[in-house]
Structures are given as structure tokens and as C-alpha cells.
Amino acid sequence: MATLAVVVVVGYVVGRWARRVNRRRRGSRWYREVYLQSPHWRSFRRGWWARHGNVPCSVCGFHGGPLDLHHVTYKNLWHERDEDVRPVCRRDHDLLEERKGGGR
Ligand SMILES: [Zn+2]
């Protein structure tokens, strides 16, 4: 009886863990917490702004505030080309991410 309980508990814990890992790999949490903190991304981003200068938000034209680089595609992560990203303001970035992923 005790053995059965252990099996059930272990199965439950492993199942939860597997779901969490899976979500992290696909979802944006890994992207935000790992990719965007990586030396590669930091230097790409710095280089991008150096190459393109002081450009406005590509969605609304907002200028003069902090802009993010939005990934148009994630297929070239770790070796983006300049056209794989576009500058967007915080507000439009949130809207774009909402539309792209989530599905909620
Ligand atoms: Zn904008």
C-alpha cells in the first residue's frame, strides 16, 4: 500500500516537472530569463543600435524613449541577422508578444 502511494506521488511530481520544463523550453520565460540576458544577445543588441542609429518604433513611430528589439522570427536565435528584429516601443512590444504567443 505504501509502495503504491510512493509511485503515485513520484508520478505526480515527475509529471509536473516535465510539464514545467516543456513549457519553459517553448515559452517566453526561457527567452526572457536566459536568452535576453545572454552575452550574445547583449552584444547583438548593442551592435544593432550602433548600425542603425536612433530609429523610431517600427509600429507607431514613437521616438525619444526606450525601445526594445522585437524578434520578427525566432528561427535565427543565436545568429540573428539585422532584419530578424525590429525596434518597437514597450507598449507595442507587449502587444506584439501577446498576439504572437500565449494564445490566451
Ligand atoms: Zn510603438
Domain range list for the chain: 1-27, 34-100
CA distance linking residue 21 with residue 26, whole number of Å: 9
pLDDT by residue for the chain (104 residues), tens only, comes to 678 888 888 778 777 776 665 555 556 789 889 999 999 999 999 999 999 998 999 999 999 889 999 999 999 999 999 999 999 999 999 999 887 654 44
Q: Which residues surround ligand 1, an ion (CB under 5 A)?
A: 57, 59-60, 62, 89, 92
State the residue for C-alpha cell 524613449: 65
> If you ran DSSP here, which 8-state letter would residue 67 be given?
E
For residue 67, what are the β-bridge partners? Answer: 89
Q: Tell me if residue 93 falls in helix, strand or coil.
A: helix
User: How many angstroms is it from 68 CA to the middle of ligand 1?
Assistant: 10
CA distance linking residue 95 with residue 82, whole number of Å: 22
pTM for this structure? Answer: 0.67
34-100 CATH, one of 3.15.10, 1.10.730, 3.40.50, 3.40.1800:
3.40.1800
